[in-house]
């Protein structure tokens, strides 16, 4: 049986950690690409040498040549200018637009049947750009954001209540940024609604912290941004695709009428399997939630429009 081939574009902290999680889960052979000579080669070799200790097999290739990504099943794109203290995701717009245009063009040339998972910010806009450049069907181009945002919310809930994070389920919709839409009504702890375990003001405080989750880490690190949780979130999506797990995960997906939105990438719950985004799950939102979605969608739409495609 042929092993899946997963190419990670960008061998910085997020990309290298993606390669690590993919290796540990034995999801397939991993290609780690970067324009910096020696860096992806060194990290790939280091990762391969961890195999005997951790008991995982696979081929791990570090490269500066896109040709080595040929025939990829999944391409994870983390390339782009990193976020720095004081920067918003939108500040990264112009620089990352140029980078993603070039990266997607070359990757598609070598892997015309791949699934693309975008990580580069501003996430929803860069995912839209990837679909436009690749000309892939919408099912094969998606963005990682909601898994990460939900993971942050789940973490903060578990910390607040002093319970295992394994028992906390949460859902976050909307654009990846200040207008994201955590849905506490759909958050449970071992099936118990969050509202029965925590007062409303504390729930709102955790929602606010979730919205600022990336900026909080940037501020603490001072010279970088988050990478453990973003990479783990990406690989949960990769695993759902290569192992056809049919996971219901919040992803940035292309909408054509769902939630009353059309022609934008937006964070929604999706079923991920061997055919990529196999279904967008539409929830019955209340009036307050619909308004938050409307505001978030307006912000995403404005950013996408600035691509001027």
SS3 268: strand
Instruction: Please report which residue ranges of the chain form alpha helices under DSSP H.
Output: 13-24, 39-54, 93-110, 123-134, 146-161, 200-211, 213-221, 228-242, 287-305
For the beta carbon of residue 246, count every other beta carbon within 10 angstroms.
Answer: 12
- Distance, C-alpha 72 to centroid of its chain: 18
**Rg for the chain, CA atoms, rounded:** 19
Contacts of 294 (CB under 8 A, 6+ apart): none
Residues found in the chain:
309
281: β partners:
none
Contacts of 200 (CB under 8 A, 6+ apart): none
Contacts of 289 (CB under 8 A, 6+ apart): 181, 183, 185
Hey, what long-range contacts does 205-212 have (CB within 8 A, 24 or more apart)?
206/153, 206/156, 206/157, 206/160, 206/182, 207/153, 207/182, 209/152, 209/156, 210/149, 210/152, 210/153, 210/156, 210/172, 210/180, 210/182, 211/178, 211/180, 211/182, 212/178
Q: How many C-alpha atoms does 196 have within 13 Å on its Cβ side?
A: 8
Catalytic site includes residue 132: no
The tokens describing 260, both together, are 């009353």
The tokens describing 2, both together, are 């042929």
Residue numbers annotated as active site: 176
């Amino acid at each position: 049986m042929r092993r899946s081939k997963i190419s990670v574009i960008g061998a910085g902290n997020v990309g290298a950690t993606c390669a690590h999680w993919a290796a540990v889960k034995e999801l397939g052979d991993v290609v780690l690409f970067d324009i910096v000579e020696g860096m992806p080669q060194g990290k790939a070799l280091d990762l391969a040498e961890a195999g005997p200790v951790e008991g995982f097999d696979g081929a791990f290739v570090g490269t500066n040549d896109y040709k080595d990504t040929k025939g990829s099943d999944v391409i994870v794109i983390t390339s782009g200018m990193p976020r720095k203290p004081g920067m918003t995701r939108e500040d990264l717009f112009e620089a990352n637009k140029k980078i993603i245009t070039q990266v997607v063009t070359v990757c598609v040339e070598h892997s015309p049947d791949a699934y693309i998972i975008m990580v580069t910010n501003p996430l929803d806009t860069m995912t839209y750009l990837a679909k436009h450049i690749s000309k892939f069907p919408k099912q094969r181009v998606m963005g990682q954001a909601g898994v990460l945002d939900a993971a942050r919310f789940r973490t903060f809930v578990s910390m607040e209540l002093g319970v295992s994070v394994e028992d906390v389920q949460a859902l976050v919709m909307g654009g990846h940024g200040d207008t994201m839409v955590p849905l506490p009504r759909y958050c449970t702890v071992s099936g118990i609604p969050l509202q029965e375990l925590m007062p409303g003001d504390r729930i709102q405080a955790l929602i606010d912290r979730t919205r600022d989750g990336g900026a909080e880490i940037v501020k603490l690190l001072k010279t970088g941004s988050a990478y453990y949780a973003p990479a783990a979130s990406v690989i949960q999506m990769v695993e759902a695709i290569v192992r056809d797990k049919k996971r219901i995960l919040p992803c940035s997906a292309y909408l054509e009428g769902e939630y009353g939105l059309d022609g934008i990438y937006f964070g929604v719950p999706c079923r991920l399997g061997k055919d990529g985004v196999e279904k967008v799950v539409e929830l019955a939102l209340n009036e307050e939630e619909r308004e938050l979605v409307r505001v978030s969608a307006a912000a995403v739409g404005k950013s996408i429009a600035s691509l001027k495609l």
